[in-house]
A and B are shown apart, each in its own frame.
Chain A
Amino acid sequence: MQLKILTVDDSRAVRIIVKKAFKTYNVEILEAANGVEGLAMASKQLPDLILLDVTMPVMDGVEMLTKLKADPSLKSVPVIMLTAEAGREMVLKIAKLGIRDYIVKPFKEDVLNEKVGRIIDLRPITETQNKRKTLSDPCEILVVEDKPAIIQQITTGIRVPTWKVHGVASTGETIDYCQKQVPDVIIISLSLPDEAAYTLFRLLRSNMKTKYVPVFALAVKTDLHAQQQAQQFGFTSIITKPIDYEELETKIAKAINLDTSERYFVFEGEYLLIRLPENASTSSVNEISAYLKPKISEAVDQGYTKVIFDVHVVRNVNMVLIKLLVDSMTICQELTLSYSLVGNPQIVQECRGFEESKDWRFHDSIDAAKASF
C-alpha cells in the first residue's frame, strides 16, 4: 500500500522540494497551500503523515494543528512541523499541541527523509513500483572484507556479466561508498576485526539510504556460532566460505527480487522451453517453482500449446526435481498443453528409480522432442 504524506505550505517552492525529496520512495505527496486546504485534504485523504508550515495566510499552522488535534478522526495523524520559525517560545507552544518532530528551514533533504522515516515506513520505490529487474540489468555488489584475495575470488566467481563487485576493507570505506552510491547488495565478512561487521550492520540499518539494502554475512562454513549470531542479528542471509557461487547468485537474486525466469523459461518458436539447471538444488527448484504457474499462463496467453522440459544437463535426479516435473506436467494437463521431455541416458535410468517417473519417456534432443508433437 502506498503511504501518503500531506505537505501544507504556502510556498510552492517548498512543496516542490518536499516532492523531490520523496521521489525515490513509495509515497504519494498530497499538497495544500494553507491550513483550511490542509484540513480539507487531511479529512478526505487521511494521510499517514503531515508536514506542516507555521506561517501561512488564511489559516496558519498553529491553528490547523489545533483543529487537527480536536478532530477524533485526524488527531492520531503524526505531524512534523517544517518551518523557518524556530524561536523557543514558538517551539514550546507547538510542542504542547502535540507534534512528532520539528524541522527548521533551511533543511537538508537527508534530514527530512530521516525524520519522516522514523515515523512511517519509507520504502524505496525500486522495491515496490519499478519494473522488476532481470539478469540483464546491472547489479552492484559491495563486499566488505579486509582480505583482498576473498574480494578477488568473489569478483571472478560471480558469473552474471551485468553484476559488478566492488570491494572495501573497512566500516569507514563502506559508509563513504554508500554515501556516493547505494549498492544493490552488501556482503560483510564476519571476520573483520573488533566485531566491526555487527557495528557496520547497525549503521547500515539506521541509515535511510541503506535501511532496506540486503546485507549478507560472510562466514567460514564451520563457524556455526558466528552464523547463528549473524542470523539473530538480522542479516538478510548467510554465505559460507568456501563460497558456492550458484547459491550466492540465487540468494542475491532472491534478496533483490530479481526476475531470473529467463534462465529457465525460453519462448522459442512455437514452444515454451523449460530448462532445468545442472545442479537441481532445493533453492534452484524452489526458484523455478515460483515462476512455473505465471510463465505457463503467459505461454497460454500468448497462444503457445507445446512445452518441452529440458532435463539433459541435470547432474542428479532427486525427489525435489521429480516433484517439480510432476507439478509442471499437472499444470500442462490442466491447461491442455502438450509436453515432452528431453534427457540423457543417465537421467532416464535415474528416473526409473522413482515411482512417479518410472514410466516417463525422454527424447535425446530438443529437435527430437519438437518432432514428437
Chain B
Amino acid sequence: MTDNLIQDKLPFSLQELEGMMIEAVGKFFDTMVGLPIQYEGAKVGASYDDLDGPPPPVLPSTQTVIVGMVGFIGLMSGVINLYMEEDLALRLTGSFLGMNDSELAEEGPEVIHDTLGEMTNMIVGTFKNAVSDKGFQCRMTVPSILRGTNFTIETPSTVFRQIYTFRILNSPFIADLTMKPGD
C-alpha cells in the first residue's frame, strides 16, 4: 500500500503511524518490563484488500494465542490488537508484576488476563495520546482479552489496517492496528 492510498483513508503517513507504534510498544517494554524489544517491520499488504477468501491468522501458532484488545473512539477511531503466544504472555506478566511462576500461579489466571489488559491499555494509550496530540481527540475503550488457536480477526476492507511485528524473548509480539476517521 502506498502513502497516497493511506492518505485517502487517514491524515497520517505510513511512516508516521509506524513511528507512533514503535514508540508506544518500545516505551511500554522499556518502562514497565525492563526488556528490550526488536521491531521487525510492518506486514506489506496487511489490509488484506487484495486477498481472495478469508485471511490467514495474524499469528499462526501451535500454542494458544492471546490477544489484548483496546479501542479508541473520537475524531479518529480504531482498535489495536496485541497478539502473543501463551508462553510469552506468562513471562511478560511475571516481568511486569515482578513475580515468579509460583507467585503467579497463586494469583490465578485472572491476574494474567488483567495484566495483559493493562499492558494493552498502556500501549494503546501511548499511541492514542500521540493521535490526540496531532489534533484528533479520542478516548479509549476498556480492554478485552481473546484466547484461542488458529483464529482470524477480520475487518472491513474500507478500514485502514496495518500489522507491525516485534520480537521479544525470542517470540513474536504483533500489534495489529485498524483505524479510520471518526464519524
Name A residues whose Cβ lies closer than 8 Å to a Cβ of B. 10-14, 16-17, 20, 55, 57, 83-90, 104-108
Contacts and interface: CB of A to CB of B under 8 A. Distances in A.
Contacts of A86: 125, 129, 132
A104 B129 CA distance: 10
Nearest to A11: B118
B32 interface: yes
B87 to A, nearest CB: 19
Contact of A89 (B96, B110, B115, B132): B132
A85 B96 CA distance: 20
A87 B121 contact: no
Contact of B137 (A57, A87, A104): A87
Interface of B: 27-28, 31-32, 93, 96-98, 110-111, 114-115, 117-119, 121-122, 124-126, 128-129, 132-133, 137-140, 142
B113 to A, nearest CB: 9
A362 to B, nearest CB: 60
Nearest to B33: A106
A89 B128 CA distance: 13
A86 B97 CA distance: 23
A183 B91 CA distance: 33
A106 B28 contact: yes
A106 B32 contact: yes
B71 to A, nearest CB: 12
Contacts, number: 73
B125 A105 contact: yes
A85 B139 contact: yes
Contacts of A57: 142
- Residue among A10, A12, A89, A107 with the most chain B CB within 10 A? A12
Nearest to B117: A11
A84 B110 contact: no
Contacts of A12: 110-111, 114
Given A84-B124, A84-B126, A87-B138, A13 B132 contact: no
Given A84-B126, A106-B27, A13 B140 contact: no
A22 to B, nearest CB: 13
Contacts of B32: 17, 106-107
Nearest to B111: A12
A105 B122 contact: yes
B111 A13 contact: yes
Contacts of B129: 84-87, 104
Contacts of B126: 84, 106
Nearest to B125: A84
Contact of B125 (A13, A20, A85, A88): A85
